[in-house]
Amino acid sequence: MFTGLSHVSIVVPDLDAATQRLRETYGLIVGETRTNAEQGVHLAYVELGNARIELMAPSRPDSPVAKFLERNPKGGIHHVSLNIDDMQAATGALSAAGVRILGDGRAQYNVAGERIAFLHPADFLGALVELEEHKG
């Protein structure tokens, strides 16, 4: 079902400052900033070969990421994203096992147009997990 780690998402209060720190302190290259209007976030990725770090900052005050920053003003790890081949099969099997899939049942997509879904943290050792579909 799971084919690998896609990325770890870190919420930051200031995307430009985070990008500068990662570049200057760690020598990491952060890609272009993108916006996912549906999720209410600005984001950018650090490519690490077999996985990525996703930096997220709110694009509107009512987004889940803005609410995360209210509770964690300095930011922090938001979720872990796992690759899967087939969203329907994975969410069906997980639901049958009692795992709660977050959302209203409508398909969700990331900025690359890939299908995503989130698992309730209480059903995965207290961690918010994103499933990211990568066909083939």
Q: What pLDDT score does 89 carry?
A: 95
**Cβ pair 40, 59 in contact under 8 A:** yes
Tell me phi and psi for residue 97, to 5 degrees.
-90, 5
pLDDT of 49 > 90? The answer is no
Q: What pLDDT score does 136 carry?
A: 60
List, by residue number, the catalytic residues: 130
pLDDT of 120 > 90? The answer is yes
CB 130: neighbour CB atoms within 10 A? 20
pLDDT of 10 > 80? The answer is yes
pTM here? 0.90
Map out the domains of the chain with their CATH numbers: 2-133 (3.10.180.10)
Instruction: Determine which of 17-26, 33-42, 92-101, 103-112 has the lowest per-residue pLDDT on average.
Output: 103-112
Count Cβ atoms within 10 A of the Cβ of residue 132 and give its class: 0-12 exposed, 13-18 middle, 19 or more buried.
Answer: buried
Residue keyed to tokens 């209007």: 37
Give residue-wise pLDDT tens across range 83-100.
999 999 999 999 999 999
